Amino acid sequence: MLPQERTEPPFTFTYLNNMAQRIFIVDDHPMVVEGMRHMLQQITGVEVCGHASTARSCLGYFVKNTADVVLLDINLPDQSGIEVCKTLVLQHPALKVIALTNFDQLTYIQRMQEAGAKGYLLKNASLDEIEHALQAVAGNQEYWLGRDNQRDTLKDHNQLLLTRREIEVLKWIAEGLTNQEIADKLFVSASTIDSHRKNLISKLQVKNTAALVRTALENKII
Amino acid sequence: MLPQERTEPPFTFTYLNNMAQRIFIVDDHPMVVEGMRHMLQQITGVEVCGHASTARSCLGYFVKNTADVVLLDINLPDQSGIEVCKTLVLQHPALKVIALTNFDQLTYIQRMQEAGAKGYLLKNASLDEIEHALQAVAGNQEYWLGRDNQRDTLKDHNQLLLTRREIEVLKWIAEGLTNQEIADKLFVSASTIDSHRKNLISKLQVKNTAALVRTALENKII
DNA sequence: GCCTCCTTCCCCTAAAAGAGGGATTTTTTA
DNA sequence: TAAAAAATCCCTCTTTTAGGGGAAGGAGGC
């Protein structure tokens, strides 16, 4: 497939000087797609031109169509979002790809950046954050602020990612198990679970276990 | 108002002896509608014939159309789901109305029952529960099992509903505040907050604060 | 082979929560 | 208005967390 020129922008009227930004959403979770679509509907000068739940159907769309911005999930059922991103920016150099990610996948955003993405948004981003990201890419800027903020808020050797064990422990904590009960389940000492709990509280910058569970659920870590 | 989304012809075949059960969804949260639609798509013999986000557009649909089952939110922006239920069963006696509710609105389901509903589902119901409810109403049975189960699991004088104060305290707990901090905020003693916390744990039948926060978030109580 | 990260485990103290009670006052509702 | 429910507060006692600290072994990357 040859790289092709960016097609003419659509003639969607919104305001005098602005064309509507056409957004294409790619995520395999209907909840995320519809949630995002709903958020975008509340932003003036923006329209959703389509969505796809697989890499294949996304790339299929972009064979004959284009958009201004693609909100692209990193985890797709058939292919990595990173590969999809590479393909898209190769074929549509003017296309702005914004990665969609969960809190626990933040390590992948660097690879998305290398793959040509112009920014990223957490799946539970606020309307404000979405708006800022779209304004940034519309002005040919990038939007990685959230990542940096996130990084700054994290202690412990700049660890961005929860470890497998930590997530495992976190799930049991949210179930209501005590350190000792989790320890029995995982055949380790209660001290170990306590360490994991403390690291989780530290990494996610929360005050206690209650807030830890809330943050974990709201960021879809568990 | 004209029907807005009826797309499928009435004669959709699925199996030899069964017509597809036609479901109409009424909820003002797109997330709930799409989530429910997605769940229903996974059930054979069921099709979504449309949805509405307001009482008005719902009643508008049923002026010239009908369905087999209506999944009806109790809280609608323009009118109570209870009133909508009464109107629907009056105009379409064969229509099975299943109430959609959150955990903290369980007291209303009795009024939905009086209004002619044939069952209820929590908004975070599992695929199994949805399937059972649909099978029940298809067989002219009612589906209130969940309510009874719920009732059985609740202690303290069969209280089904969290009080305003309890929900208020619950929100602060999920924010990560301690009893003392919440007490300072609400100008009461820490003992009071402790009582509320204990009542919450008792009412929601969870082991500790971590599970309380999880349950509260998953049931959209906060 | 070094270094980082993960996992594991331990120490300490103080604070908070969990599990029983019980009790009073205000507010709602039947 | 009387009963029911909600909100308030207190007690004791035990267990669990929070927040410091440190440290050792192993796996994997460079």
> What is the pLDDT, as a whole number, of residue B170?
94
Q: A30 — contact with chain B (CB < 8 Å)? A: yes
Nucleic acid strand D within 7 Å of A157 CB = no
Domains of chain A: residue spans and CATH: 21-145 (3.40.50.2300), 164-218 (1.10.10.10)
Q: Check B209 against A209: CB less than 8 A apart.
A: yes
Backbone angles phi, psi at B212, to 5 degrees: -60, -45
CB contacts of B212 in chain A (<8 Å) are 176, 210
Using the CA of B164, give the nucleotide whose C1' is nearest: D6
Q: CB of A83 within 8 Å of any CB in chain B?
A: no
Nucleotide nearest to A163 (CA to C1'): C6
**A172/D24 CA-to-C1' distance in Å:** 26
Residue with tokens 């992948």: A108
**What is the β-pairing status of strands B21-26 and B46-52?**
parallel
CB contact under 8 A, A208 and B37: no
* Over residues B63-78, mean pLDDT: 90
Nearest Cα of chain B lies from the Cα of A10 at a distance, in angstroms, of 27
Give the span between the Cα atoms of A149 and B163, in whole angstroms.
38
A113-127, B59-73, B170-184: lowest mean pLDDT where? A113-127
CA distance B132 to B46: 12
* Per-residue pLDDT in tens (0 to 9) along chain A, 222 residues: 333 333 333 333 333 345 789 999 999 877 788 889 988 988 999 999 999 988 989 999 999 999 999 999 988 878 888 889 999 999 999 999 999 887 656 667 777 888 899 988 877 777 888 898 899 899 888 887 543 344 333 332 233 678 889 989 999 999 999 999 999 999 999 999 999 999 999 888 889 999 999 988 887 788
Residues of B numbered 194-213 whose beta carbons fall under 8 angstroms of chain A's beta carbons: which are they? 206-213
* 3-state percent helix, strand, coil for chain A, nearest multiple of 5: 50, 15, 35
pLDDT band at B72 (very low <50, low <70, confident <90, very high): very high
Measured between alpha carbons, how far is B62 from B59 in angstroms, rounded to an integer?
A: 5
